[in-house]
Structure 1
Amino acid sequence: MYARRDIVKGVATLPLAAILADPLLARAAAEMTEDVSITLSSGQSVTASVIYPEVTPAPTVVLVHEWWGLNDQIKAVAAELAREGYVALAVDLYEGKVGTTPDEAKQYMQGVKPDLATETLTSWIDWARKNEKTNDSLGTVGWCFGGGWALNASIAAPTEATIVYYGSVARSADQLKALKGPVMGHFAERDQWINKLMVDEFVEQMKIAGQPAPEVFWYSADHAFANPSGARYDQEDAQLAWSRSLEFFEKNLAG
């Protein structure tokens, strides 16, 4: 059993992969974030978790969770981004619900209303841009379900950079014309859903839209390879994808 001081030290010094692989460390990192809420135009209250870097104002990264919901893993990634110098805002599209089984996660994902999710994300992006601790650079990143919504967010409220981890990129050129900043995608060769056919069509639609070619990376892995709590986790590929993501944000947000 860890002593509290060892957990705190681990969160401060260990690499992200080590933190995410240990539930105690992930929980400690998640607890570093602060819950915030805003009210949408409909009057509905929505929540997110935010964490600030040591030095502000700073660029913002908006995180969109997997189909599980806004759990400790995603909040721990937010804490890591803050350690890298970003204001990290992890948005909740499940109204506080977190799935613990695939059936629960599927139910919550299917219950998401697209119009409400879009308004939630655009409202949080507006909140972040007006925050006195942020500057003019903002990017999005999401995984699986959240990968597709990170792209949707950057279309609905154009951002300076977008990263999609094995999320749906089936978009038309007309939709993609709204993008402001570049896109990076991490995809798995053994993924049966987000496959090469979809990604190749995305690249073609980006070209038709007059957008820069997305930075697309393929990994000898399966869907959800960056999630250490799942059976498909591939540590080496997850670490490589993360290093590429940090370089991408450094170039397009902090550069």
Structure 2
Amino acid sequence: MKKLILFAFIICSSAMAFGQSNMACCSKQSATKQFAMLANDKRFVMSHPQPKTIHFQSSIGKAITYSTPDGKTADAYEFKAKTPTNNYILVVHEFFGLNDFVKKESEEIYNDLGNVNIIDLDLYDGKVTADRTEAAKLMQEVKDDRAIAIIKGAIAYVGPKAHIATLGWCFGGGWSLQASLLAGNQAVACVMFYGMPEQDVNKLRTLHTDVLGNFGNQDAWINPKVVAKFAADMKTAGKKLYLHQYDAGHGFANPSSPSANSAAAADAYKNTIIFYKARLK
């Protein structure tokens, strides 16, 4: 029996490692866990080289701590609007953790929107790395219950009157969608970059916002077949998906990625700002 269980796990992991959308094998795994399993795929890990060193020091952002419903606290990085507003974007980092790349990107969005608070969440609980093997380990160590508590704590921190948008890349792309689901009727916009979509149509039916999805057609993992299923599931759930697919690979919006594509990244960023401006008024 143990051999059969191990064999089934290997088959399931292999299907994801080759970017297949044969999710039936892994149907009992959450979407976030399915993405975390990619840490077992050497090709996926090797596709994330050491990030370029970015020394980013913000004059407007600051580190914050807030309470989480599991009795702990969470760390985050906040950009506070110059004029008080109930508009918030909750940002979830990618593979390497809450690093300077994420903070720099958040400040750029903050400056381009002008009427928003941005909070960079830390689902790695203070751990950040430039080593891809360590990053894969950190990604696998994230427990859904703890990540959900961190997101719920952020939602409580911004308050019941907040209009909540979300954003994330890679690991954070899937969690951006989960954060919008958790935000309930406070959710006003969700942007995800090449993250694992939610595959439970009943959960998608509870979504209160449109979704902007940015994906690469050369992505070996969140591939066009996975994206097509997401589009079909969103349609079945009666939700609006604004889909942008580029001739690019996984990580195309990260300048440190071997799949970095400046044209695709610029277009995705432009569409993200337009999407937010229409919903964060």
Counting only pairs closer than 5 Å after superposition, residues 31-42 of structure 1 correspond to structure 2 as 32-42=60-70
Partners of 1:56 and 1:39 lie apart in 2 by 22
**2:107 — aligned with what?**
79
Q: Higher relative contact order by CA 8 Å / sep ≥ 6: 1 or 2?
A: 2
Does the 8 A contact of 1:170 with 1:198 survive in 2?
Answer: no
**What SS does the aligned partner of 1:151 have?**
helix
Tell me whether 1:68 sits opposite 2:105 in the alignment. no
Q: Shift of residue 56 of structure 1? A: 2.1
Q: Shift of residue 216 of structure 1? A: 0.5
Which among 148, 151, 155 is matched to residue 121 of structure 1? 151
Q: Shift of residue 129 of structure 1? A: 2.9
Cα deviation code 1:91-138 (max 9, x no counterpart): 0000111121110110000000001101211220221135xxxx6422
Q: Which runs of 5+ in 1 are unaligned?
A: 1-19
**What SS does the aligned partner of 2:77 have?**
strand
**1:232 — aligned with what?**
259
Which among 177, 180, 195 is matched to residue 167 of structure 1? 195
**2:57 — aligned with what?**
28
Tell me whether 1:97 sits opposite 2:97 in the alignment. no
Does the 8 A contact of 1:156 with 1:178 survive in 2?
Answer: no
Q: Shift of residue 164 of structure 1? A: 0.5
Q: Which runs of 5+ in 2 are unaligned?
A: 1-50
Does the 8 A contact of 2:214 with 2:268 survive in 1?
Answer: yes
Runs of 4+ displaced beyond 3 Å: none
Which range moves more in the overlay, 120-129 or 218-227? 120-129
**What SS does the aligned partner of 1:41 have?**
coil
Partners of 1:232 and 1:172 lie apart in 2 by 30
Amino acid at match of 2:255: P
Partners of 1:147 and 1:199 lie apart in 2 by 13
Does the 8 A contact of 2:70 with 2:149 survive in 1?
Answer: no
Partners of 1:194 and 1:32 lie apart in 2 by 35
**1:53 — aligned with what?**
81
Cα deviation code 1:213-252 (max 9, x no counterpart): x000011111000001222211111111001000000011
Identity value in percent: 31
Name the TM-score, length of structure 1 as normaliser.
Answer: 0.84
Partners of 2:131 and 2:125 lie apart in 1 by 17
Partners of 2:165 and 2:139 lie apart in 1 by 23
